[in-house]
Chains A and B, each alone.
Chain A
Amino acid sequence: MNPRLRASCLLLFLGSLIPCSLCAQVTNERLLHANDEPQNWLTYSGSYASQRYSALQQINASNVKNLELKWVFQAQSLQKFEATPLVVDGIMYLTQSPDDVVALDAKTGRAFWIYHYATSPASRPCCGIVNRGVAILGDSLFMATVDAHLVAIDAKNGHALWNVKLAEAAAGYAMTMAPLVVKDKVIVGVAGGEFGVRGFIAAFEARTGKEAWRFDTIPKPGEPGHESWRGGDWEHGSAAVWVTGSYDPELNLTYWGTGNPGPDWNPEQRPGDNLYSDSAVALDPDTGKLKWYYQFTPGDPYDYDSVQIPVLVNANWNGAPRKLMLWGNRNGFFYVLDRGTGKFLAGRPFVKVNWASGIDSNGRPILTPQPPGVPTFPGIQGGTNWYSPSYSPRTGLFYLSTWENYATIFSGVNADYREGQRYTGGANTSPIPGADNPAGQRQGPVNTYTEALARGAVVALNPETGKQEWKFDMHDVNTSGILTTASDLLFVGGREGYFQSLDARTGALLWKQNLGGEIIAGPMTYQIDGNQYVSIASGNSLFTFALRQ
């Protein structure tokens, strides 16, 4: 055999030893059909429809009691752990605070590589130095950073490929979300709603990092919607974007939720509806052009960010198939929209609400503002928040983590804008003497304010009727995302640190494990060598379970 042929054969042989997992490319086609490969978890929410639902069914109601811990990844960070990992052909890609990416063997938890990003000390995220995950296309990972950069990383070796700055971290701009890849673009939004930023969603060429388009969530003078602002209020009107959007390839629309107007709690400083704060926006992913918007809380005085995951569902509505968008909003209402047009279809409260008595037929809330000193339900942290909900096409139910019977006494005060300083204008208090406000910051193991402050729950809602099919009560408030599977299991954590599996049809508890740390992330699942795994971040670690062999 001649030397060249011998060398080629050797290369072929060596190549055959490399697991195909290291060769795989995540194409657009794979992302479009992520549900067809449930052994992987290819996007932050599991698929473009963001249902956080998996077709895997090895773990089921009869064997879930046999789940056992397979491995733990201990993050080198004491910050909040809000990430959902991706799993691509046996490799897990996970972020740890502030902006590191780790590639792990998803079967054992052993690390292949770690990418450390030097986050600027000028960054000042309002509510924790968190990073919720990465996106993938081809062999590239994409990470949004706390100091408002977007970084592409080689998925094979953790080497940075490009790094672009989106905005000034010192001015309060930050990014905490996992990006969304649509076609050849990486789409992200900026946080900073407590610093008077001007929010935007932007798309970047995945190959080069070149900015393709930018959609400002607050229209400037001359643009439609600008009339909803007075004078120069819009310049620091916030409408930040800090959780991942969704995408409908048939409609070619990408959907994102926007945050509170600024200053958060003093609407007297920004009279008007303050578009497009607290809204769902539908954008053309090729151009960033606005196709439609729906504003949940016009002129919001409560910090009811509409920064939730848009859940896309094709289901019957009034007897006819329709492309729906389901939205459990921080303001306490559960909404159903037509995602082709943005038309409001229904809005019903899922927790105690007294800021509005309902939503009128045009989709506008019927306001019932409470007198000064009287508690408003839900409180600052909302009836739910950014925690990922789930929708199971098998049960037809929408599952949501909630804060029950939770209130704040709101009071706005004047706020002066200074770049990089908090711009919130609030004099809010808790109705519970001595309780912190907002109450969402507690991370210790003792629930000091207990049921007096609020309780938590998982609720299962029928999208068509808004009726609560079942409720699983928790003593502490529920800060966890939710996963459902084709075996009609539901996985959810909570602030108490329990990781639980419920019957998705009845809400009955099937299994629980105390992980010892607050769960403020969404569970996900994947499969390797015929074994189904479930992962969840708790405290400062990621825990991965599978059935006992």
Chain B
Amino acid sequence: MRLRWLSLRALLQSAVICSALALPGPIANAQGQDRAPQYFQSDIQYGAQIFASQCTSCHGENGDMVPGVNFHAGQFKRVLSDNDLRLTITNGVPGTAMQPFTFGASEITGLVSYLRNMNSFSAQGLLVGNPARGRTLFEGAGNCVSCHAVNGKGPRVAPDLGDIGALRTAELIHRTLLDPAASMLPANRPVRAVTLDGKVINGRRLNEDTYTVQLIDEQERLLSLSKADLREFTVLKSTPMPSYKDKFSSQEFADLEAYLLSLRGVK
């Protein structure tokens, strides 16, 4: 489901722009959780925006309009764990006005993160991005299109980002823009292989097992190499992707992240 950015206008009116980069890391607020209890500011912010656009008509801005439920106070009717919360959002509650929502994984992570931290979250600190401006950055100043395609438009040297908003959480996207080498999916790491006859192959790893490695090389060819046929095989921890830490302003980060989160694949 695409975000309804226009409906965030009310939230925007009260928002004071601050640096998303200065916000703290994980927030542990995990009473009664059985897993995934670390909440990140980027996810919480993303969840706040989804909540404002999708949930407030029934639950109210403070999450306390449904009898017996008060998100702000951590009061739920039937939810114990984060997984319960995910299931309730996805499946709805039969016989009530709570309908099933077809959110993607990153949206649900955002919503759960927000609902679990509503009591400590302040919209005063919310920085809301504009996906249209983010696209301009993606295609322009960021020069992302020199390596990344979006739904088949562009090069294949780096992963196609056409569904990145469905695959990666807001927090992971944020972290990747700051420190791409550390956040890169290990399977995507650049590899260098030298065959027994001295041929050098550079590419991006797609998969690997004990005996073989699958990659896409610089000529965008899909290759499967047998390690027994290689003289050298190196997995690099560096990445050609630059960090945008000092390149973009906080607002530009928010815009770029909003654009990336809006990329949800071909439907």
Interface residue count for B (Cβ, 8 Å)?
30
Closest B residue to A456 by beta carbon equals: B210
In the bound complex, what is the Cα–Cα distance between A82 and B28 (angstroms)? Answer: 36
Q: Provide the residues of chain A in CB contact with B38, threshold 8 Å.
A: 427, 429
Closest A residue to B175 by beta carbon equals: A433
Beyond contacts A427-B38, A447-B207: 19 other A-B pairs, Cβ-Cβ < 8 A, are A413-B30, A413-B33, A413-B37, A414-B32, A416-B80, A421-B81, A422-B34, A422-B83, A424-B35, A426-B34, A427-B30, A433-B172, A434-B168, A434-B183, A448-B185, A448-B187, A451-B186, A474-B210, A494-B210
Closest B residue to A373 by beta carbon equals: B26
**Cβ A450 vs Cβ B35 within 8 A:** no
Which residues in A have some Cβ–Cβ distance to B below 8 Å? 411, 413-416, 418, 421-429, 432-434, 437, 445-453, 473-476, 494, 496, 498, 512
Q: Can you name 15 A-B pairs with beta carbons within 8 Å? A: A413-B30, A421-B80, A422-B34, A426-B35, A426-B37, A427-B28, A433-B183, A437-B35, A447-B187, A450-B189, A450-B205, A450-B235, A452-B186, A494-B210, A496-B210
Closest A residue to B172 by beta carbon equals: A434
Q: Provide the residues of chain A in CB contact with B211, threshold 8 Å.
A: 498, 512
Closest A residue to B227 by beta carbon equals: A475
Q: Provide the residues of chain A in CB contact with B234, threshold 8 Å.
A: none
Closest B residue to A478 by beta carbon equals: B210
Nearest CB of B to A313, in Å: 29
Residue of B32, B175, B210 with most partner-chain A CB within 10 A: B210
Nearest CB of A to B119, in Å: 17
Closest A residue to B35 by beta carbon equals: A426
In the bound complex, what is the Cα–Cα distance between A422 and B35 (angstroms)? Answer: 10
Closest B residue to A445 by beta carbon equals: B207
Decide yes or no: A416 and B186 within 8 Å by CB, A447-B209, A498-B209, A498-B211 being known contacts: no
Which residues in B have some Cβ–Cβ distance to A below 8 Å? 28, 30-35, 37-38, 80-81, 83, 168-169, 172, 175, 182-183, 185-187, 189, 205-211, 235
Q: Provide the residues of chain B in CB contact with A446, threshold 8 Å.
A: 187, 206-207
Q: Provide the residues of chain B in CB contact with A498, threshold 8 Å.
A: 209-211
Closest B residue to A418 by beta carbon equals: B80
Decide yes or no: A447 and B33 within 8 Å by CB, A433-B183, A434-B172 being known contacts: no
Q: Provide the residues of chain A in CB contact with B33, threshold 8 Å.
A: 413, 426-427
**Cβ B185 vs Cβ A415 within 8 A:** no
Partner of A475, one of B30, B169, B210: B210
Nearest CB of B to A376, in Å: 16
In the bound complex, what is the Cα–Cα distance between A473 and B227 (angstroms)? Answer: 13
Q: Provide the residues of chain B in CB contact with A451, threshold 8 Å.
A: 186, 235
**Cβ B35 vs Cβ A428 within 8 A:** yes
Q: Provide the residues of chain B in CB contact with A473, threshold 8 Å.
A: 210
Partner of B209, one of A416, A423, A496: A496
Nearest CB of A to B267, in Å: 22
In the bound complex, what is the Cα–Cα distance between A435 and B211 (angstroms)? Answer: 23
Partner of B34, one of A411, A424, A450: A424
Nearest CB of A to B34, in Å: 5
Nearest CB of A to B175, in Å: 7
Q: Provide the residues of chain B in CB contact with A474, threshold 8 Å.
A: 210
Decide yes or no: A413 and B186 within 8 Å by CB, A446-B206, A447-B208, A476-B209 being known contacts: no
Q: Provide the residues of chain A in CB contact with B175, threshold 8 Å.
A: 433
**Cβ A453 vs Cβ B28 within 8 A:** no
